[in-house]
C-alpha cells in the first residue's frame, strides 16, 4: 500500500485533475488521492466509440459524486474527428483525451494532470517500441508538461489488492479484451507467454524504459549543446541523429526515422545529400551543415552599377578570382552547392563575366566590390593583415600565426604574432599579444563587441583569454587539429562559460594553412641540415 500512496503524498492539499476512465487503475488512483487528502477533480472523456461508453461516463460521474469530488465529463465523437483530420483512431483518442484533460486543469486551476498508467502499461509500451524498431525504448514518460504519471512503478496486483481491501468495484472496458488492438493482444497473448519463462518481465521492461530515458536525455542534451560552427564528422551518430531531429523540429518540419538516418550519415561523411521531407520541403546537408531550402542564397543588398544584370547562371559563365579566371560551374562544385540548387543561385553579371555570387558569404570577382562602391569587408581585410603578421613570424622562425583585434566599428585596435621562440615562453601566442594591445588601446580589458581575427583556430589558452576579455566574435582561418579549442581537438564552447562569442571558421583558410605548411617544411629542412653537420 505504501508503494501506492507514497508517490501521491506530494499532492496533499493541492488541486489536481485526474483522468478517470472507470477502469481499475484510474479508480484506484482517485481513491488513493482522496486518501492522501489531495483535492482531485475527475475528468472523463466519453470517446463515443462503443455502445456502452455513455454508461461508463454516468458511472464515473456517480463515483465522483459519491466521493464528493469535482467532476467534468465531455463527450466527443472521436471517430468523426479522426476521419476529418486524417488521424488514426488510437492517435485521435489520445490527442483529444489530453486536450480535454488540459482544459479541465485550466478551468479548475490545477497545476497537475494525473493519469493512472502503471508498470504494466509501461512494459507493454516498451515492447511495442521494440517491435516497431523505435530508436529509443523510452516507454511512457513520468512527466510531460503538466501531466504526471505517479504509478509507473506500481504493479496491477497491488492495485487490485488495494481496491479489494476497499470493496471498490470498477468498470471493465470490453475493447481491452479485443486482440485486434496491438496493446490488448500483447496483454492477453504475448505477455503471459513471456512471463512464463521470465517471471520478472514486467519489471525488466520498465527498467529498460527508465535507463533508456536517462541515456536518451543525456544524448539529447549533448546534441542540443553542439555549437553551429563545430565540426560534425567525428561526432557519434547517436548524437548527430538527435541534433538533426532537433533542428527539423525547431523548424516545424515533419520527418520519418529514415530521413534522420540519411541526414546524420551525410553529416558524418561530409558528402552532400538532398532529402525531400513528407511535407514536400527539400533540405540539404552540405559541408557538415543542414540547410533548410533556400537558406543558402542571398539577394544583393546594394544597388549595383549600370551594365550589371541580376540573373541565374548560363552555360559558359566565368568569374575572375585572385587565383585566375574560373568556370562558374567548377567553382559551385568546389563550394559544394547541391547540383539541383545551382540554377537558383543569384548572380550579378557584367560584360566582364560574373561579378558577384549570392551565396552566404557572398563571393566577389576581383575589383567588383570597388566597382559596386562596397566597402571591403573589414573582417577579410583584418585577416589579410593577420596573414601578413603570420608571415613576419615565419621569417623570424616562429610558428606562423598572426592575430588582429577589431573594435565594434571595424577599426584595428590590436595586432600580434607568435613570439614564443624569441621570448623563450610558450604562452607568447599571437592572440594574447593582440588582445593585450587592444586592451591598452581601448583603456579597458573588456573587449565586448570586438572581433578577434586570427589565422589559426585558437588553442584552449587563447580561447580562455578571449572569453575572459568578453570578445564578441572570433574569426579564424585554418583549423588546428593539434590544439584547436573550437572543434579541432575539442569544442570548448559546448560548455557553458557564461559568455558565448559567435565564431566563424575557415576564413582565408587555404592561405593560412599554406603558410603553416611552408614554415613546418622549412623547420624540418633546417633540422635535417643541422643533423647532417
Ligand X SMILES: Nc1ncnc2c1ncn2[C@@H]1O[C@H](COP(=O)(O)OP(=O)(O)OP(=O)(O)O)[C@@H](O)[C@H]1O
20 binds ligand X (CB under 6 A): yes
Work out how close the CB of 361 gets to ligand X at its nearest, in angstroms, rounded to a whole number: 53
Residues 26-65 that bind ligand X (CB under 6 A): 26, 43-45
Considering the complex, state which of residue 76 and residue 507 has its C-beta at the smaller distance from ligand X.
76
Q: Which helix (H) or strand (E) holds 284?
A: strand 282-286
Residues 141-200 that bind ligand X (CB under 6 A): 173, 176
Give the range of 116-124, 210-218, 318-326, 454-462 binding ligand X by CB under 6 A. 116-124
> Which of 431, 441, 457, 511 is flagged as catalytic?
431
Considering the complex, state which of residue 134 and residue 173 has its C-beta at the smaller distance from ligand X.
173
Considering the complex, state which of residue 116 and residue 459 has its C-beta at the smaller distance from ligand X.
116
Work out how close the CB of 153 gets to ligand X at its nearest, in angstroms, rounded to a whole number: 15
Binding site listing = 21-26, 429, 459, 462
Q: How far apart are CA 133 and CA 131, in angstroms?
A: 5
115 binds ligand X (CB under 6 A): yes
C-alpha cell at 409: 566599428
Q: Which of 182, 184, 206, 211 is nearest to 120 (CA)?
A: 206
User: Would you put residue 408 in left (φ > 0), alpha (ψ -120 to 50) or beta?
Assistant: alpha
Are the C-beta atoms of residues 335 and 359 closer than 8 Å to each other? yes
Work out how close the CB of 128 gets to ligand X at its nearest, in angstroms, rounded to a whole number: 12
362 binds ligand X (CB under 6 A): no
Considering the complex, state which of residue 17 and residue 467 has its C-beta at the smaller distance from ligand X.
17
23 binds ligand X (CB under 6 A): yes
Q: How far apart are CA 299 and CA 345, in angstroms?
A: 9
Q: Which of 465, 367, 449 is nearest to 410 (CA)?
A: 449
Q: Which of 448, 449, 437, 377 is nearest to 408 (CA)?
A: 449
Work out how close the CB of 199 gets to ligand X at its nearest, in angstroms, rounded to a whole number: 23
Q: Which helix (H) or strand (E) holds 147?
A: strand 147-148
Work out how close the CB of 121 gets to ligand X at its nearest, in angstroms, rounded to a whole number: 5
> Which stretches does DSSP call E strand in 379-501?
402-406, 412-417, 451-456, 473-478
Give the range of 13-21, 126-134, 228-236, 472-480 binding ligand X by CB under 6 A. 13-21
116 binds ligand X (CB under 6 A): yes
Q: How far apart are CA 388 and CA 402, in angstroms?
A: 7
Count the helices and strands in the chain (H runs, E runs): 19, 20
Binding site listing for ATP = 21-26
Q: In this structure, which long-range contacts are made by residues 75-84, counting pairs with CB atoms below 8 Å and at least 24 apart in sequence?
A: 75/45, 75/46, 75/48, 76/45, 76/46, 76/47, 76/48, 76/100, 77/48, 78/47, 78/48, 78/49, 79/48, 79/49
Provide φ and ψ at 234, rounded to 5°. Answer: -95, 5
Binding site listing for Zn(2+) = 429, 459, 462
Considering the complex, state which of residue 5 and residue 135 has its C-beta at the smaller distance from ligand X.
5
- Does 431 qualify as catalytic in the annotation? yes
Considering the complex, state which of residue 33 and residue 263 has its C-beta at the smaller distance from ligand X.
33
Residues 78-97 that bind ligand X (CB under 6 A): 97
Work out how close the CB of 81 gets to ligand X at its nearest, in angstroms, rounded to a whole number: 15
Annotated active-site positions, please?
A: 431
List interacting residues with ligand X (CB under 6 A): 19-21, 23-26, 43-45, 97, 115-117, 121, 173, 176
Amino acid at each position: 500500500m505504501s508503494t501506492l500512496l507514497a508517490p501521491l503524498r506530494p499532492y496533499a492539499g493541492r488541486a489536481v485533475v485526474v483522468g478517470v476512465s472507470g477502469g481499475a487503475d484510474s479508480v484506484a488512483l482517485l481513491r488513493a488521492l482522496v486518501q492522501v487528502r489531495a483535492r482531485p477533480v475527475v475528468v472523463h472523456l466519453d470517446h463515443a466509440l462503443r455502445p456502452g461508453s455513455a454508461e461508463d461516463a454516468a458511472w464515473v460521474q456517480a463515483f465522483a459524486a459519491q466521493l464528493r469530488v469535482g467532476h467534468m465529463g465531455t463527450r466527443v465523437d472521436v471517430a468523426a474527428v479522426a476521419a476529418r483530420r486524417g488521424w488514426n483512431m488510437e492517435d485521435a483518442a489520445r490527442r483529444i483525451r489530453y486536450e480535454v484533460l488540459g482544459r479541465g486543469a485550466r478551468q479548475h486551476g490545477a497545476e497537475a494532470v494525473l493519469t493512472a498508467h502503471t508498470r504494466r502499461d509501461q512494459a507493454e509500451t516498451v515492447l511495442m517500441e521494440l517491435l516497431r524498431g523505435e530508436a529509443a525504448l523510452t516507454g511512457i514518460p513520468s512527466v510531460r508538461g503538466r501531466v504526471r504519471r505517479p504509478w509507473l512503478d506500481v504493479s496491477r496486483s497491488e492495485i487490485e489488492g488495494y481496491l479489494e481491501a476497499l470493496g471498490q468495484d470498477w468498470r471493465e472496458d470490453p475493447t481491452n479484451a479485443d486482440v485486434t488492438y496491438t496493446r490488448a493482444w500483447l496483454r492477453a497473448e504475448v505477455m503471459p507467454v513471456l512471463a512464463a519463462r521470465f517471471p520478472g518481465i514486467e519489471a525488466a521492461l520498465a527498467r529498460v524504459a527508465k535507463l533508456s530515458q536517462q541515456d536518451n536525455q543525456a544524448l539529447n542534451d549533448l546534441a542540443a549543446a553542439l555549437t553551429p560552427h563545430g565540426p560534425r564528422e567525428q561526432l557519434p551518430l547517436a548524437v548527430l541523429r538527435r541534433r538533426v531531429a532537433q533542428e527539423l523540429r525547431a523548424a516545424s518540419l515533419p520527418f520519418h526515422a529514415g530521413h534522420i538516418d540519411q541526414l546524420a550519415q551525410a553529416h558524418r561523411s561530409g558528402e552532400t545529400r538532398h532529402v525531400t521531407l513528407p511535407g514536400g520541403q527539400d533540405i540539404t546537408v552540405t559541408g557538415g551543415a543542414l540547410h533548410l531550402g533556400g537558406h543558402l542564397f542571398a539577394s544583393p543588398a546594394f544597388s549595383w552599377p549600370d551594365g550589371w544584370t541580376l540573373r541565374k547562371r548560363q552555360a559558359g559563365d566565368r568569374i575572375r578570382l585572385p587565383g585566375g579566371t574560373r568556370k562558374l560551374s567548377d567553382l559551385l562544385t568546389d563550394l559544394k552547392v547541391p547540383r539541383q540548387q545551382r540554377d537558383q543561385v543569384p548572380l550579378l553579371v557584367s560584360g566582364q563575366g560574373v561579378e558577384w555570387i549570392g551565396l552566404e558569404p557572398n563571393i566577389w570577382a576581383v575589383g567588383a566590390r570597388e566597382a559596386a562602391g562596397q566597402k571591403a569587408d573589414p573582417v577579410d581585410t583584418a585577416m589579410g593583415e593577420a596573414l601578413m603578421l603570420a608571415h613576419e613570424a615565419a621569417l623570424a622562425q616562429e610558428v606562423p600565426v598572426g592575430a588582429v583585434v577589431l573594435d565594434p566599428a571595424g577599426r584595428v585596435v590590436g595586432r600580434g604574432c607568435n613570439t614564443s621562440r624569441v621570448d623563450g615562453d610558450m604562452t607568447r601566442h599571437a592572440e594574447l599579444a593582440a588582445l593585450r594591445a587592444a586592451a591598452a588601446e581601448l583603456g579597458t580589458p573588456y573587449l565586448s563587441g570586438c572581433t578577434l581575427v586570427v589565422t589559426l583556430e585558437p588553442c584552449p589558452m587563447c580561447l580562455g583569454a578571449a572569453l575572459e576579455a568578453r570578445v564578441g566574435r572570433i574569426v579564424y582561418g585554418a583549423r588546428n587539429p593539434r590544439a584547436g579549442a573550437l572543434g579541432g581537438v575539442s569544442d570548448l564552447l559546448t560548455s557553458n562559460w557564461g559568455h558565448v562569442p559567435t565564431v566563424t571558421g575557415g576564413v582565408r583558410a587555404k592561405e593560412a594553412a599554406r603558410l603553416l605548411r611552408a614554415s613546418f617544411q622549412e623547420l624540418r629542412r633546417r633540422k635535417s641540415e643541422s643533423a647532417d653537420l
